[in-house]
Amino acid sequence: MMTQARKKVSVSDLASMKGKEKISVLTAYDYSTALICDRAGVDILLVGDSAGMVVLGHPSTVPVNMQEMLMFCGAVSRGAKRAMIVGDMPFGSYQPGTSTAIENAVQFIKGGCDAVKLEGGAEIADKVKAIVDAGVPVMGHIGLKPQTSSLWEGYRLQGRTAESARRLVQDAQALEKAGVFSIVLEMVASEVAEVVTRKVSVPTIGIGSGPGCDGQVLVLHDLLGIYEDMKPKFVKRYAELARPILDAVLRYTQDVKAGKFPEEISTFHMSPEELEKFRGKNKK
Ligand SMILES: Nc1nc(=O)c2c([nH]1)NC[C@@H]1CN(c3ccc(C(=O)N[C@@H](CCC(=O)O)C(=O)O)cc3)CN21
Ligand SMILES: CC(C)C(=O)C(=O)O
Ligand SMILES: [Mg+2]
């Protein structure tokens, strides 16, 4: 008998959650935290290009490349048993053309991801369709698109005017038609996110887009309180871990300086016989 494949959250599981059960999504970038998030029952782990900011220390997500993303994806995939893993395609990995987009999407799947995410609406629908046709599930991402917003107008609320709200609905529908299994709505006015959620059949995942979305996503380091360079209004800190980490490292450093670490319990010894021989030889 074949061993049963691990029970993973699938595209069809997510589809059937729309309107019934909210979808919990978090970012993850490494094995140890992926393992914890998976154990907590997070449905989707997004290996976000936000790693460029919170892990690599860049001022935006723009500098992150494929090689870096694939390393994070491999680590997260080894930690997640149940959660679906979505790889965030970095800036430059899908802009050059459809075949480049397919090649890089396939690299994410080979690297352990179950799906990929691309920023953009109607203008990238052809690339989304091509990736889906190649057999790779795609998550859309509209509203605030950090990869390009950082180069143009900065990180601002989207869908503030009736015109831009209508465009968001059209973008969502274009992505749905192109075959996405889900759409991230980032920093979209709550009223607009609600309408988009009603108008598409696939689940919407909100970040800073109000409670009307089918699911929610946050950056793990924001939720844990260990990324302090910025605090968007939509972030809720479920813990303030910067402080306890600082305290632990302070105490460790004090102990090292004072010669109080390591203690006997953390120290290894030779056997008495070998120690005797060692001392004898050393005497000479
Ligand atoms: N750590 C982290 N968390 C994120 O949520 C995140 C990233 N990194 N990197 C990629 C993008 C960038 N994001 C951001 C960053 C800043 C604001 C921000 O400053 N927002 C202002 C409102 C600005 C306005 O209304 O025009 C705020 O006060 O929330 C929003 C989204 C969300 N994403
Ligand atoms: C915040 C989410 C949606 C994201 O794209 C990221 O973490 O990079
Ligand atoms: Mg991203």
Indicate which ligand has the atom closest to the C-alpha of 72: 2
- Cβ atoms of 79 and 28 within 8 Å: the answer is yes
| 108 & 156 share domain | yes
Verify that 257 and 182 share a domain, yes or no. Answer: no
Contact 18, 201 (CB under 8 A): yes
Enter the pTM of the model: 0.95
Domain count, the chain: 2
Residue type, 70: L
Answer whether 88 contacts ligand 2 (Cβ < 6 A): yes
Ion ligand 3: protein residues whose beta carbon lies under 5 Å: 48-49, 88
Q: Which CATH number do you get for residue 46?
A: 3.20.20.60
**Residues with Cβ within 8 Å of residue 157, at least 6 apart in sequence:** 144, 187, 188, 189, 208
Q: Residue 151: helix, strand or coil by DSSP?
A: coil
Flag whether 256 is in a domain. Answer: yes
Q: Is 123 a catalytic residue?
A: no
Find the angle CA(45)-CA(46)-CA(48) to the nearest 5 degrees.
150
State the residue range of the domain holding 211.
11-239
Residue 6 falls inside a structural domain: no
Residues 139 and 216 grouped into a single domain: yes
Query: Residues 23, 141: one domain?
Result: yes
In this structure, the number of other CB atoms found within 10 A of the CB of residue 117 comes to 26
**pLDDT of res. 3:** 55
Question: Which secondary structure element, helix H or strand E, spans residue 283, and what is its range?
Answer: helix 272-283
- What's residue 5's pLDDT? 57
Determine if residue 49 is labeled as part of a ligand binding site: yes
Residue 4 lies in a domain: no
Residue 284 pLDDT: 53
Residues 170 and 218 in one domain: yes
Would 126 be classed as within a structural domain? yes
Of the candidates 121, 184, 199, 187, the residue with the CA atom closest to the CA atom of residue 158 = 187
**Residues 217/206, Cβ–Cβ less than 8 Å:** yes
Q: How far is the CA of 27 from the centre of ligand 2 (A)?
A: 7
CA distance 257 to 142: 51
- What distance in Å separates the CA atoms of residue 142 and residue 215, rounded to the nearest whole number? 15
Whole-number Å distance between alpha carbons of 28 and 74: 11
203 lies in the same domain as 76: yes
Q: Assess whether 60 and 182 both reside in one domain.
A: yes
Q: How far is CA 3 from the centre of its chain?
A: 29
Do 137 and 199 sit in the same domain of this protein?
yes
Catalytic residue among 21, 163, 186, 228: 186
Render pLDDT for 61-117 as a digit per residue (tens, 0 to 9).
Answer: 999 999 999 999 999 999 999 999 999 999 999 999 999 999 999 999 999 999 999
pLDDT at residue 35, as a whole number: 98
Answer whether residue 1 is part of any domain.
no
The residues of the chain scoring below 70 in pLDDT are 1-6, 282-284
Q: Are residues 278 and 204 in the same domain?
A: no
Distance 251 CA to ligand 3 centre (A): 36
214 and 259 in a single domain? The answer is no
